[in-house]
Structure 1
Amino acid sequence: MINKRRSGHALIGASVVMGLAAGAPLSHAESTRTIEEVLVTARKQSETLQDVPFSVAAMTEGKLQQSGATDLESMAKNVAGISIQNLGPGQSQVAIRGISAGQIVRDQPGVKEQVGVYMDESVISMSLFTPDLDFYDMNRVEVLRGPQGTLFGSGSLSGTIRYITQQPNFDGVSGSIQGDAETISHGSDGGSVKAHLNVPLSDKVALRMVRYYQEFGGFIDALQPDGSVNEDVNEGVREGGRLAVLFQPSDALSITPKVVFQKIDMDGFNREDDYHLLANPYTTTRPAITLGDYEQYTQLEESFEDDFALFDLTVNYDFNDQLSLTSVSSYTDRDVLVVRDATALNSSITGGSYGEAPSVYLLDAPLYDRTSAEVLTQELRLSGFDGPMQWVAGVFYSEVERHYSQSLLVDGFEASNPQHPDLSGSTAGQRASTDELYYSDIPYQLDQYAIFGEVSYDLTDKTMLVVGARYFDYEETRVLSFDGIYTAAIIDDRSVVSSNGVSPRVIVRHALNDDVMLNAQVSQGFRLGGNNDPLNVPLCSSTNNDEQIYGNNRDFDDETVTNYEVGAKTNFMGGAGTFNVSAFHAQIKDLQVTVDAGSCSSRLIYNADEAHSSGVEMELFMRPLSNLEFGLSASFVEAELDSDVESEGSVLAVVGGQDGDDLPTAPGFELAASVTYYFPVFNTWEGFANATYQNVGERYTKISDQNNNGQGVATLYPNVGGPLTQATYGYDREMDSYEIVNLRLGVRNENWDTALFVRNATNEKAELSIDTERGGNARVGHHVNQPRTIGLSARYSF
């Protein structure tokens, strides 16, 4: 185990040394007023950001570094229309334009992602676990808003995010090294060391390497049953790297193999507990405990481990100036282990529902969630142009083999002699071992075939028409095995779902003049359906009819989005400013909604027949003076259900939201603003001061959180710590709006870039998502952001 406080101090020292070394005067980096054009490949061809005929945002390496963004969540704070729902380390979920059904949790492995995430040309997105990759030496990050089903397939229902890495080059040896150190208010220290190196090995071979190591400081304290406190339990480490080699035997042929690897190891979660069955102020026979800010209650250590590896090979051959062939092959291997303290959940069952003694319900109950996935993809495409026509056409294949398992192992449960007949006796089953109260094992395979194409044709010198379509064919096979006294035994139950169809896109772009471009489009995206896991019938309350309400929802349908959009991209002030705006209306059919199945401790997916998301997003960037930059992005979204989410059991009920309820995750309003001022320092350096501001509106974690006017009610169990001072615990399921201010002050020249930074300068505590156990009856908590953090960053480039 690493002594994170000690190594954090060492990292601070290293960064200070680097910062002092930066005092050597070198050349001054001059600022110009003209905004640099950004090249993107959002349509699988190179074009400027302003020429792309739909809404795209791009954060270049310079902007990422200037804002201090190191990963997807910190980057998203500066981009309109994208929201990140923080569900713990490595488990964040992405929503674009408010199209979201809300929280997807670990025990829903059959649910597919709504936003596709790519590393260069390779898809890396996986539902539940969006890869939390470090952005060091990233060329840019592209955010493609709206359905991208034509070119990017199923995972891009509401948009696509692409990490574009810096490629090996033959320009000579170059590299960089960066050290960062930080300290968290009322928390521990953290820091990182990162480096990259580009080396031409010959006139035909070049390689580029990236390596990074980061220690995350903790800020959550965990109260223990003996009254002690484990401080800063959400500390952790992220380390990884990339290696790419460019082989260019001729001007026409390039071959680029690449390896990406990363490991995340966290000691706990950024969860603040508001109510805990075993630690609350309403008891009279247990120690009364009131949990405070950044506190949680645990009986055992929680952890998160994520091992990620990507191997891909990109081959490009130019037949001539008008035709090229690209092949992209990739293999992804990923293993995720989540260990949660489910003692409160288990206590709510054994002590709360069954009335067992403390010797039974206070036993440690670790819940192990394991996910392993192997993904093989192959894309082959031709692209070319002939006069007024540009086109791309290709085929795509992917094979996903994923294995998910869950185990609730309560050591000593049989020996504790539970009295209720549902709990007494042997706990071993056909698959469950002794004291393994819940067991699940779900291997499955998803095969996908697709043919896609898109043609751009210049109708006139000012008007372009784009027409594209993708034919897809999916088949998913799962084998379900469930065992243990908390569920009905199901062994090797095989299920198959399949789907095929066409996702079209039509775009019209018209240039009013050199500075104003208008665009309009109709596009479609989709997300594959699947099978639900079986209901945990033994845990269902008979008084609430939960088995009858939730017990007949075997599968869920594909989700489709049809998007209608108009927009404008403008340049002004002679190239010193850009203003882009888009208005959209997305009609959603069969929205996949997560539903908590009452007292059954199960989560199921239902389809809402109709929903919509309408809104406006805008981005303004300008440089009114050569030494002053200003950026503003904002989005307003109205995303709502247009039909009730109803059960399919023998007892009908509204279970997941009503007509008119807001879609969760994404707020109705988001705004981000940044300003940077440059100034000379000692005539040889350029100083800079940067401030960013983020405003995020109210939102919900799940659609069903709006039931009962957004008020949650947890039932308190008299047998656990009773007699109790009250019968229920009420809480607000709507998360408040929040505002975050980041500051950065530094100096730089041709080789050095050193800065002091303050993240969350106002020390705002933001609720990022709700985390409950057994509908809140066992525990109610929130994932929260990092408190005020002060640090130093120093980077040397050569």
Structure 2
Amino acid sequence: MVRDFWLTSRISWRSPIRRRAAAFASWLLPCAELFLPVTPARAREPQFALSIPAGPIGGSLSALSQATGASVGMAGALPQFHAPPLRGSMGVAAALRRLLAGSGWRAVQVGASAYRIERAPQTARRPATPEAREPAEAIVPGPPLTPDIVVTGQKRALLLQDVAMSVSIVPLDGQVSSRFATSSRDLSLSVEGLAVTNLGPGRNRQFIRGVADSPFNGPSQSTVAVQLDEVRITFDAPDPDIRLVDMERVEILKGPQGPLYGSGALGGIYHMVSRKPDLTATSGSMRIISEAVEHGSPGAGGEAVLNLPLVADSLAVRGVGYVTRSGGWIDNLGRNRNANVTQSSGGRLAARWQPDPDWTIDLSGVVQNMNSKDSQYVTASDETVHRNARVPEPTDNDFKSAAATIQGRIGAFDLLATTSYVDHRVGYQLDSSDASEQFGLRGQSTYRDDRKYTILNHELRLSPAGSSLWLAGLSFMQARSHNEASMSSAMTTVAVESLDRKITEFAAFGELTMPLIAAVKATAGARLFRSIAEDEAVEQAGGSSDRIVKTFLSPSLAVSWTPGKRSILYLRYARGLRPGGLAPLGQSVSRRFDSDELGTFDLGIRHTLPGSSLSLGASLFHTSWSHIQSDYLLPNGLISTRNAGKGRIYGIETTAEWRPLTGVTLSAGGSYLHARLVSTEAGLEVDDRRLPIAPDATGRLAAQYDFALGSWATSLSAQANYVGRSRLTFDENLDREMGNYTTASLAAFLRRNRVTIGARIDNLLDVKGDSFAFGNPFSIARAPQYTPLRPRTFTLSLARTW
């Protein structure tokens, strides 16, 4: 499920399912109680370290929501009065009582973290005595509230209803549908416009709204920037596929994000937001997972999270660790079965120090190692999971990052300074026997590719305290990549290529929101940056080097109309670009590929009907893309880069969510995309050359039913996805079709006190389909290649929190 715009995803079924759920629970629930005894004691309300200045009540409530994640709302307009400051550690209810004290209003809890503002009853109050205790507020049933969603992908906390661009939010904390979402491919089924290749774990590329240049992992910069909190973790590397454990949410910002993120980010931003250390309470969780893949091998895994305050209300650490083994399902005939087993292990460690209420220092580190024992493509058809493989094709993906962020208040301004470093290494092996002769080898040969990517980033940002009207910043980034490739036979090893690339960027950026007329405002942004690209290539034919220095300006402008708190109509235009570079092993006269530029118009609307029972969203977009940088296959199977020409993209996305009954949520989404290469770099018009990877149409239907099964809180959900047709590449020789399939999944979660039991079935009907028409560059010209969908998979989990 995805929370698109301000949509809240809760999900699914009606009461006839209860009988089957009860039968399932009759034997599963006692097992949980046997191994994980639970206590009926109610956990105390979480405490938060708050520092909210005095000001209008509306701003104070927004700041409280941002700091705690609580939802606070009311029917009609908020009252207008001045709220007192909040300083110290307290729960949400206590904070609301202080903010509303003496105002004639009160907050009534209507959900686990939702509160409704209403008139306080006019009752006589007796004088307080030292012995008197404040009575606990009763939880009064009321209509569900749509919580305010905070977006941080624009480098400051903004309420989503104020964001004049297309954004999708996937909540990962407490949402049923996302509890087994561990990768970007899982999330792509819940986000309109997000497409992900399927070369294999740790080797995939992401594309948003058809801004796709190539399915191959060449030297060109990614069109989607992957961000973890304040850290940019990709530049020209594939998606490291960080496991989504103990994450709050993922934000997908659609359209060019050059003004805030610099070069690349032509299609948008994939922003992961982790849970931060809690300064007030010790907590933790453990989860055990097991899976069974039909026609394949079993898998298992475990996750653990520990939050530990070291100094009350001042210093805390939070650690995450996980180990998983995903079962394989591709059989190599005559060699081994279920060859494509993937093992992952990793963790995150974060520390937060708050020396005083106005300043926070965050330190964090991430380590993840991912190893796949073999590739996952076949050559016969997408109906089979068998292939004849001469040699194994393993992949190794090792990722490390470290970051430090300081943020606080200086006078009337909020300051944020962050420094991060990423070390990402990807190595893989391929059967290159079909290309042996082109490299002077005979018979069976193996190709080995080892890559190292590093990113060093410093950024300084300034904004007005308690306001998001403007933002200004300076940044420095240096991205390096080194690639060593060789080919070996029984007696000989040949060095194929060595490529070094360094991109250095200095930038000044900013964004400003200005009111125009009633309920209409404009948001303008710009980034001025200087890019220095240095390339050096060493190949069989010799060596070469290049240096390109350019100064760019990336602008954006949005106009929005917000007639009410839950409605926005916006029109946004933004530009983005990627610097040029040196093409390795190019066959053209010029070895250089030029910078490409992209501009997008986005017209969108988001609206929630009175009562918050129905929410709707739609977006129309048009993109013009010149000098497209594209990685392409040479006749010998190696990958180079060129400017392919001019592209044009237009499309529409729609989303809807409806809560017709208590506990029932229905949601749907769909997209249509027309993405074409319209002319070559020489200006020659071409016919029906589709831009790669992105399907022409997608559809999503989901439902969830939340109810009580005895003493267990139960959620049942179902989801169906249609993935339309797409093409592998606009190269005439490899213009293979893929996609055009429908999958379904079912899930059930039962929770009581601190125990949660989960069960899920993916690819419920065991649908066959080609998810990616590529696997090996050295043999794809000889025969089609297919990547079959993962067969029906059963997953069970048992979790305990404390």
TM class by shorter-chain length? Answer: 0.7 to 0.9
From 728, 731, 741, the counterpart of 1:701: 728
From 447, 450, 456, the counterpart of 1:370: 450
> Mapping of 1:409-488 within 5 angstroms?
409-412=488-491, 435-483=492-540, 488=541
From 217, 227, 232, the counterpart of 1:118: 227
SS in 1 for 2:192: coil
Q: CA deviation at 1:297?
A: 2.0
Q: CA deviation at 1:17?
A: 5.8
Question: Please, which moves more after superposition, 782-791 or 160-169?
Answer: 782-791
Structure 1 residue aligned with 2:98: none
Q: CA deviation at 1:343?
A: 2.2
**Partner letter of residue 634 of structure 1?**
G
Instruction: Tell whether 2:201 aligns with 1:98.
Output: no
Q: TM-score, normalised by structure 2?
A: 0.80
Instruction: Tell whether 2:402 aligns with 1:298.
Output: no
Q: CA deviation at 1:398?
A: 0.9
SS in 2 for 1:155: coil
Instruction: Tell whether 2:767 aligns with 1:764.
Output: yes
Structure 2 distance, partners of 1:265, 1:607, is 33
From 730, 752, 756, the counterpart of 1:753: 756
Structure 1 residue aligned with 2:378: 272
Would the aligned equivalents of 2:739 and 2:771 in 1 still touch at CA under 8 Å? no
Deviations along 1:689-732, one digit per CA (max 9) or x if unpaired, are 11111111000111115x69x5xxxxxxxxxxxxxxxxxxxxxx
Structure 2 residue aligned with 1:311: 402
Would the aligned equivalents of 2:173 and 2:247 in 1 still touch at CA under 8 Å? no
Would the aligned equivalents of 1:693 and 1:742 in 2 still touch at CA under 8 Å? yes
Structure 1 residue aligned with 2:421: 331
Structure 1 distance, partners of 2:31, 2:682, is 62
Structure 2 distance, partners of 1:621, 1:251, is 39
From 511, 518, 527, the counterpart of 2:569: 518
Would the aligned equivalents of 1:773 and 1:779 in 2 still touch at CA under 8 Å? no
Structure 2 residue aligned with 1:621: 657
SS in 2 for 1:522: strand
Would the aligned equivalents of 2:648 and 2:676 in 1 still touch at CA under 8 Å? yes
**Partner letter of residue 702 of structure 1?**
T
**Partner letter of residue 471 of structure 2?**
V
Structure 1 residue aligned with 2:596: 559
Instruction: Tell whether 2:177 aligns with 1:177.
Output: no
Structure 1 distance, partners of 2:335, 2:477, is 48
Structure 2 distance, partners of 1:558, 1:658, is 22
Deviations along 1:376-404, one digit per CA (max 9) or x if unpaired, are 110011011698x8110001111122210
Structure 2 distance, partners of 1:752, 1:48, is 33
Instruction: Tell whether 2:719 aligns with 1:692.
Output: yes
Q: CA deviation at 1:141?
A: 0.3
Structure 1 residue aligned with 2:76: none
Would the aligned equivalents of 1:25 and 1:685 in 2 still touch at CA under 8 Å? no
Q: How many residues align?
A: 676
**Partner letter of residue 204 of structure 1?**
S
SS in 2 for 1:344: helix
**Percent same amino acid at aligned positions?**
25
Runs of 5+ unmatched residues, structure 2 = 1-27, 43-110, 113-140
Structure 2 distance, partners of 1:36, 1:797, is 24
Superposition RMSD in Å: 2.6
SS in 2 for 1:783: coil
Structure 2 distance, partners of 1:796, 1:738, is 37
Summarize the Cα distance change of 1:374–1:35 in structure 2 as closer, same or farther, 3 Å threshold.
same
Structure 1 distance, partners of 2:272, 2:320, is 15
Would the aligned equivalents of 2:378 and 2:788 in 1 still touch at CA under 8 Å? yes
Instruction: Tell whether 2:801 aligns with 1:797.
Output: yes
Structure 1 residue aligned with 2:737: 734
**Partner letter of residue 498 of structure 1?**
V
Structure 2 residue aligned with 1:218: 328
Summarize the Cα distance change of 1:65–1:367 in structure 2 as closer, same or farther, 3 Å threshold.
farther
Structure 1 residue aligned with 2:168: 57
**Partner letter of residue 241 of structure 1?**
G
Structure 1 residue aligned with 2:52: none
Structure 2 distance, partners of 1:131, 1:674, is 28
Structure 2 residue aligned with 1:159: 268
Instruction: Tell whether 2:712 aligns with 1:674.
Output: no
Would the aligned equivalents of 2:535 and 2:581 in 1 still touch at CA under 8 Å? no
Q: CA deviation at 1:128?
A: 4.4
From 583, 590, 597, the counterpart of 2:627: 590
Q: CA deviation at 1:251?
A: 1.1
**Partner letter of residue 329 of structure 1?**
T
> Mapping of 1:235-246 within 5 angstroms?
235-246=341-352
From 455, 460, 467, the counterpart of 1:380: 460
Structure 2 residue aligned with 1:416: none
SS in 2 for 1:661: strand
Runs of 5+ unmatched residues, structure 1 = 1-13, 276-290, 355-359, 413-434, 536-549, 648-653, 711-732
From 140, 145, 165, the counterpart of 1:34: 145
Structure 2 distance, partners of 1:596, 1:158, is 23
Structure 2 distance, partners of 1:781, 1:162, is 32
SS in 2 for 1:73: helix
Deviations along 1:191-235, one digit per CA (max 9) or x if unpaired, are 210011111111310111111111010001112xxxx23011111
Q: CA deviation at 1:51?
A: 2.3
Summarize the Cα distance change of 1:115–1:773 in structure 2 as closer, same or farther, 3 Å threshold.
closer
Would the aligned equivalents of 1:22 and 1:754 in 2 still touch at CA under 8 Å? no
Instruction: Tell whether 2:484 aligns with 1:405.
Output: yes
Q: TM-score, normalised by structure 1?
A: 0.81
**Partner letter of residue 716 of structure 2?**
A
**Partner letter of residue 331 of structure 1?**
Y
**Partner letter of residue 409 of structure 2?**
D
**Partner letter of residue 399 of structure 2?**
F
Q: CA deviation at 1:173?
A: 0.7
Would the aligned equivalents of 1:49 and 1:58 in 2 still touch at CA under 8 Å? no
Would the aligned equivalents of 1:577 and 1:622 in 2 still touch at CA under 8 Å? yes
Structure 1 residue aligned with 2:668: 632
Q: CA deviation at 1:410?
A: 1.1
SS in 2 for 1:172: coil
Would the aligned equivalents of 1:34 and 1:576 in 2 still touch at CA under 8 Å? no
Instruction: Tell whether 2:642 aligns with 1:603.
Output: no
Structure 2 distance, partners of 1:602, 1:170, is 52
